[in-house]
Amino acid sequence: MKSLALTSPLNWRDRLAAWHDRLVASADFRRWAGRFPLTRGMARRRARSLFDLAAGFVYSQVLYACVRLDLFTILAEGPQEERTLAHRLGLPADAAAQLLEAAESLGLTKRRNGRWALGQLGAVMVGNAAIESMVTHHAMLYADLTDPVALLRGERGGGKLAAYWPYAGVERPEALGDAEVAPYTALMAASQPMISSEVLDAYDFSKHRCLLDVGGGDGSFLRAVAAAHPALNVILFDLPAVAARAESRFAAAGMADRARTVGGDFHAGILPQGADIISFVRVLHDHDEADVAGMLRAAHAALPPGGTLLVAEPMAETPGAEAMGAAYFGFYLRAMGTGRPRTPRRLCEMLEAAGFRQPRLLPTATPLLTRVLVASA
């Protein structure tokens, strides 16, 4: 018996799309479109976009080399001669020239009166520990993506990223020690300030008395919120070794009187009580459906009636950043071995299934970095 997909007739939209695809695939049409004045611009943009997809790894490695060699910090001192830069970078003259020219083509550097200076994107990198940390961290992702077909055909995880995020692949994550949690905790702390500012701009915490942050790392997010709202008490819940690191950070920040830490595993289904708002900041997308459903039910049980849940993380199908969700996070989380990018709609469905009411998406300044959902218990 033939399948329905093979026997059902195509509607007019399908036939039109098929005709369009055959046309674009035609070498004769592409040559004509590249010469015809009204289509030349579009043809060239498409060709450039396709080439950028093929060359994207090389572009990322140019950025990686600049970060490893501390080029942006050096150029922040002011424009410099090429031979001076070659010496400071520890590169042969021809290699330094090649790197500087490649970086210029990507907007990272620029020539100014015969000397090299920061480009617009390079200037953004200066002192930006968050982006630099992610650039260097991606070396592990690239190693796991050496054979993407093998990654897709095999079981999730098992590579360098899975080892870097040890809680993703162990039966008892609460048993992890300080040495095992230190690398990823430091990475998350480095990138947290830009996330914290987005969340603080999107949501007013002044109406609350106590915030519980689940999976809060070393407490960077809670310290930022507490600094902006001095009357707010905070609770951090994370693995015991991580919570211990947060406790020392709170003490150093003079917050011991209004901050407490609780060590445990949120997969166990029980969260600390006493908060009227609970936050998951860049946590849910690291976990699979069943785990997220359990965490949301636990959050609902820990909140008083009318309490608030806040979810902040990058989300799939973000307008203008669709590739970030489906391509970047899709492959990153597969290599990590757990989690998936979710759309706001899917997250709202999961919130409602856990008992939350009126989930709504709040605007953020940079949706590519993070989007914010809130809901009532």
List, for residues 128-146, the tens digit of each pLDDT value: 888 899 999 999 999 999 9
Lowest pLDDT segment from 42-46, 165-169, 212-216 = 42-46
Of 9-13, 31-35, 110-114, 371-375, the least confident: 31-35
Helix, strand, or coil here: 179? helix
> Could you report the per-residue pLDDT of 180-191, keeping only the tens digit for each?
888 888 888 888
Give mean pLDDT, residues 25-33.
Answer: 66
pLDDT in tens, 213-250: 999 999 999 999 999 999 999 999 999 999 999 999 99
User: Which of 160-174, 236-250, 266-280 is the least confident region?
Assistant: 160-174
Residue 98: count other Cβ atoms within 10 Å of its Cβ.
Answer: 13
**Average pLDDT score over residue span 118-123:** 95
pLDDT of residue 3: 45
CA distance 262 to 278: 14
- Hey, is 267 helix, strand or coil? helix
% residues pLDDT > 90 (the chain) = 70
Instruction: For 203-215, give the secondary structure using H, E and C.
Output: CCHHHCCEEEEEC
Question: If we measure between CA atoms, which residue out of 357, 292, 346 comes closest to residue 317?
Answer: 346
Q: DSSP H helical segments within the chain, as ranges?
A: 4-7, 12-25, 27-35, 37-68, 71-75, 82-89, 93-105, 120-125, 129-144, 148-153, 160-164, 178-202, 220-228, 240-252, 289-302, 322-323, 330-336, 344-353
**Contact at 8 Å (CB) between 213 and 295?**
no
What is the average per-residue pLDDT within 322-337? 92
| Average confidence (pLDDT) over 61-87 | 96
Which structure tokens are listed for 268? 């166990």
Say if CB 351 and CB 359 are below 8 A apart. yes
Tokens representing residue 96 in the block:
């330094």
**Residue 317 in contact with residue 348, Cβ under 8 Å?**
no
SS3 359: strand
- Band (pLDDT 50/70/90 cuts) for residue 267 is confident
Confidence tier at 36 by pLDDT (50, 70, 90) = low
Compute φ and ψ for 76, nearest 5 degrees. Answer: -65, -20
Q: What is the pLDDT of residue 62?
A: 96
Least confident of 23-32, 284-293, 319-328: 23-32
Q: Cα separation of 25 and 3, whole Å?
A: 27
Task: Find out whether 225 and 247 touch, Cβ atoms under 8 Å.
Answer: no
pLDDT, average across residues 258-263: 95
Can you tell me the mean pLDDT for 105-128? 94
Q: Is the pLDDT of residue 275 over 70?
A: yes
Residue 39 pLDDT greater than 70, yes or no: no
Residue 199's pLDDT band, with cuts at 50, 70 and 90, is very high
Alpha-carbon dihedral sign for residues 18, 24, 25, 29: positive
Q: What's the mean pLDDT in 275-285?
A: 97
pTM: 0.84
For residue 173, name the pLDDT band (cuts at 50, 70, 90).
Answer: confident
Structure tokens at 287: 């976990």
Mean pLDDT, residues 40-69: 84
Residue 225 backbone dihedrals phi, psi, to 5 degrees: -70, -45
Average pLDDT over every residue of 103-124 = 95
Q: Work out whether strand 277-281 and strand 308-313 pair parallel, antiparallel, or are unpaired.
A: parallel
Is the pLDDT reported for residue 16 higher than 70? no
Beta strand 371-376 with 233-238 is: unpaired
Percentage with pLDDT > 70 across the chain: 91
**Residue 254 clears pLDDT 60, i.e. is over it:** yes
Does position 15 have pLDDT exceeding 80, yes or no?
no
Average pLDDT of the chain is 89
At 250 the pLDDT is 95
Q: Answer for the pair 43, 34: CB distance below 8 angstroms, yes or no.
A: yes
Averaged pLDDT, 87-107: 97
For the chain, what is the radius of gyration of the CA atoms? Answer: 25
Residue of 309, 327, 307 lying closest to 368 (CA atoms): 327
Q: Residue 226 burial (CB < 10 Å; 0-12/13-18/19+)?
A: buried
Query: At residue 35, does pLDDT exceed 90?
Result: no
